[in-house]
Amino acid sequence: MTRWYPPLSWAGRPVSLALDSAKRLRHAVLHSAGHAVDKAVAGAVGAGVFSPLKGYHFDDSPYVEYRGTLPAGLEKDAFIEKCNSELDKLVVANMETVVKMADQVRAWGPGAGERGGRGAA
């Protein structure tokens, strides 16, 4: 992702912002789905077995990337089945979605945003 910062001489000047609300809503839904995947992964193998490293929540190819190793005796296909089962349970539970604002340090701890996010090396 490339970030562009305007010159300091622009400080205090009015700006115009346009938002594609349908696209923003799709991205919000994909982001929430990433949290559901986190919960399903933890439910499938236990909390702390995998650490989420990176999430990409956009239309072209959303994913969540993890660090960790499958527990001994759990094959990849069985893990996927367990994750899908956990996701099915979340859908059936129809849990309320709550939005909270927090700075990165409070949300993820020191180092958040450095080296690719969440303090990951």
Contact 30, 9 (CB under 8 A): no
What number of other Cβ atoms are within 10 A of residue 114's Cβ?
A: 12
Maximum distance among all Cα pairs of the chain, rounded to whole angstroms: 61
Of the chain, the percentage scoring pLDDT greater than 70 comes to: 83
- The full set of domain ranges for the chain reads 21-108
Give this prediction's pTM. 0.69
3-class DSSP assignment, residue 91? helix
Contact 30, 59 (CB under 8 A): yes
pLDDT surpassing 50 at residue 12: yes
CA–CA gap between residue 31 and residue 35 (Å, rounded): 7
